[in-house]
Amino acid sequence: MSAIKSPFESHPPSARRLLLTVLAALMLAAVILLTIVLPAEYSIDPTGIGGVLGLKKTTAAEQKIELLDTLGGNEKIDTTSVAGGAGSSQPIPLPNPAVHQSQDSAAQAETFTITLPPYAQTEIKAVLKTSKVLMYAWKIDRGQIYVDFHGHSPEWTNKEAFVRYEENKASTGANGSLVAAFPGEHGWYWLNGNAFPVVITLTVQGYYDKIIDYGVSK
Amino acid sequence: MIVKLLLALAGLLLSVAGFAHGVAANDASYIESLKGVAVIPYMYLGAKHMVTGYDHLMFLAGVIFFLYRFKDVALYVSLFAMGHSITLLLGVLAGIHANAHIVDAIIGLSVVYKAFENLGGFRRLGLQIDSRLAVFLFGLAHGFGLSTKLQELSLSPEGLLVNLIGFNVGVELGQFAALGMLLLVFEVWRRTDHFIRAAYLANTLLMSAGLILFGYQLAGYLQAA
């Protein structure tokens, strides 16, 4: 039946010897598990010997946590392994560390005040590289205004990106943030549909290259 | 002579134990960064996993412990390779998620089983177990272990099949390398005067090591649950 040529198979040990062997193996395993492996790996130390040996908590149990891996509002649940977990003194490494970016210089901040005559339009754009962050707040002094918050590639043709973030036909202002999904100009087109002039106050902050003010036109 | 060999073996086991189990952390992030077909890196990682995976090595050592003829070694190792290839590929491709602790606990039991068989335990109990079938079945368990660990990583779906086959080929190559070293050690060891007595002790220790693996993984499972 079996091709194995164990000498102990042709001459098996006596039942007593086999029992003693298995018991010895079990005992040895139990001793090593309880005094060394479990204290070191899981901080389970029923005998206290692991603690005496300094093995306890050399590594805390590994935990898995789920977290949002967010980049530019693209939310994907990712899991990551953490040694120690909640009680750990060490922070948790993110599966996608690119959610953090270090910059060469401080963020810029500017405020624009634009007076838009009746039925006039204007456009203000921030030039952003991929993944750069822009924070903005704008409001108007009276009435409501058409706004198209959008972005496009700098030298845009039909093939390149031209995307809308938000359109509002009757807005009084907006606050928010943007992470550029592609390099290019990202900003606002406003059209004043009122018979009276409207003053737009826009504040932008972030890691943009520059702001392009396209000026007011009818 | 025996003492020296045992010390050398113990040293080898201790040095690989540092890698812990599965795919080492820096390899894991490397695998995750790979996009598209990357056969050679996957092959290398498969080979490394086998050469540094002490649970696979212990089982392999148990399997070839009393195999004197090359034909038998080839047969048993092929059965083992066939078993773990099936579950490695199917597990990842079909996305079968097994609990890593349970799979590793079963792998620990495979070591216990093999050592007990080597000791003539089943023969004494009057049990007739086809060891070829057993090696094949435990091969399935070992492959499941590999696929479970690979699935813990976020693998790029691009070129996944080709990469997996590369990983699998690497596992086989690593197994050949490990097998070569083991066979060499056994060849020398078997020629020593007290081999039979040492073999009994070694298999008892192997059984104990399998039990430790089993207990370790079971505790891990209970703690995670």
Query: Are A117 and A213 members of one domain?
Result: yes
- How many folded domains does chain A comprise? 2
Given a cut of 60, whether residue A88 has pLDDT beyond it is no
Each residue of B6-34: pLDDT tens digit? 444 444 444 443 333 445 556 666 666 66
Average the pLDDT over each of A116-120, B106-110, B147-151 and give the range with the smallest value.
B147-151
Specify if A103 maps to a domain: no
Domain boundaries defined on chain B: 2-10+27-224
Q: Say if residue A143's pLDDT is above 70.
A: yes
Which whole number is the average pLDDT over A170-188?
92
What is the span of the domain harbouring residue A162? 108-217
DSSP bridge pairs for A148: A167, A189
- The three-point CA angle B102-B104-B109 to 5° equals 95
Shortest Cα distance from A86 to chain B (angstroms)? 14
Residue B17 confidence (pLDDT): 39
pLDDT of residue B109: 94
| DSSP 8-class letter at B165 | H
Nearby residues of A35 by Cβ (< 8 Å), 6 or more positions away: A47, A49, A50, A53
Percent of chain B with pLDDT over 90: 30
At residue B164 the predicted structure's pLDDT band, cuts being 50, 70 and 90, is: confident
Is residue A6 within 8 A of residue B117, CB to CB? The reply is yes
Q: What is the pLDDT of residue B24?
A: 56
Residue whose C-alpha is closest to residue A1's, from A125, A9, A65: A9
Check whether A85 has a pLDDT greater than 70. Answer: no
Residue A114 lies in a domain: yes
Q: Are B207 and B111 in contact (CB under 8 A)?
A: yes
Measured between CB atoms, does B205 come within 8 Å of chain A? yes
Residues A59 and A129 in one domain: no
B68-107: pLDDT as tens digits = 888 888 888 889 989 989 998 898 888 887 888 999 999 9
Q: Which two tokens stand for residue B183?
A: 């066979």
pLDDT at A71: 59
Please state, for a pLDDT cut of 90, what percent of chain A lies above it. 48
Highest mean pLDDT among A61-70, A83-92, A116-125, B126-135: A116-125
B220 and A42 within 8 Å at the Cβ level: the answer is yes
**Which of residues B23 and A140 earns the better pLDDT score?**
A140
**Residue A203 pLDDT greater than 70, yes or no:** yes
Cβ separation of A1 and B196 shorter than 8 Å? Answer: no
Residue A136 maps to a domain: yes
Asked if A1 and B199 come within 8 Å (Cβ–Cβ), the reply is: no
- The pLDDT of residue A175 is 95
**Would you say residue A147 lies in a domain?**
yes
Provide the whole-model pTM: 0.59
pLDDT value of residue A128: 92
| pLDDT band (50, 70, 90) for residue A12 | confident
Whether A83 and A125 share a structural domain: no
Report which of residues A106 and A155 the model is more confident about: A106
d(CA B119, CA A14): 11
Q: B64 vs chain A: nearest CA distance in angstroms?
A: 9
**Residues 17-46, chain A: which have Cβ within 8 Å of B?**
18, 21-22, 24-26, 28-30, 32-33, 37-38, 41-42, 44
Q: Which residues of B touch A80 (CB under 8 A)?
A: none
Give the E-state strand segments of A23-107 in sequence order.
62-71, 74-83
* Chain B CB contacts of A28 below 8 Å: 205, 208
Cβ contact A7:B196 at 8 Å:
yes
Q: How far is CA B101 from CA A15, A62, A97, B148, B225, in A?
A: 33, 12, 28, 10, 10
Mean pLDDT of B159-184: 88
% of chain A at pLDDT higher than 70 = 76
Q: How many Å apart are CA A71 and CA A131, to the nearest integer?
A: 8
Q: Is A72 part of a structural domain of the chain?
A: yes
Residue A50: both structure tokens together:
């692991």
Of residues B37 and A152, which shows the higher confidence score? A152
pLDDT number for residue B14: 40
On whether both A89 and A112 belong to a single domain, the answer is no
Examine the pLDDT at A117 and tell me if it is beyond 90.
Answer: yes
Last residue of a domain, one of A96, A129, A153: A96
DSSP structure string for B49-87: HHHH-HHHHHHHHHHHTT--SHHHHHHHHHHHHHHHHHH
Burial B25-47 (b: 16+ CB within 10 A, else e): eebbeebeebeeebbebbbbbbb
Best of B111, B123, B197, B205 to mutate (most A CBs within 10 Å, chain A): B123
How far from each other are the two terminal CA atoms of chain A, in whole angstroms?
96
Interface test with B, best of A1, A9, A63 (most B CBs within 10 A): A9
* Residue A98 touches chain B, beta carbons under 8 Å: no
Nearest-Cα distance to chain A for B19, in Å, is 14
For the residues A151-175, what does the mean pLDDT come to?
84
Q: Which residue has the higher pLDDT, A192 or A89?
A: A192
What residues are paired with A190 via a beta bridge?
A122, A147
In this prediction, residue B145 carries a pLDDT of 84
Whether B132 has a pLDDT exceeding 80, the answer reads yes
Flag whether A4 is in a domain: no
Confidence of residue A51 (pLDDT cuts 50, 70, 90): confident
Closest CA to A164 of A178, A145, A175, A143: A178
Kindly identify which residue of chain B lies nearest to residue A20, measuring between CA atoms: B204
Angle at CA of residue B41, ends B44 and B11, nearest 5°: 30
> From the centroid of its chain, how far is CA A17?
60
Asked if residue A142 and residue A187 are part of one domain, the reply reads yes
Q: Same domain for A89 and A115?
A: no
Look at A71 and B163; give whichever has higher pLDDT.
B163
Is the Cβ pair B219, A7 closer than 8 Å? no
Per-chain mean pLDDT for chain B:
82
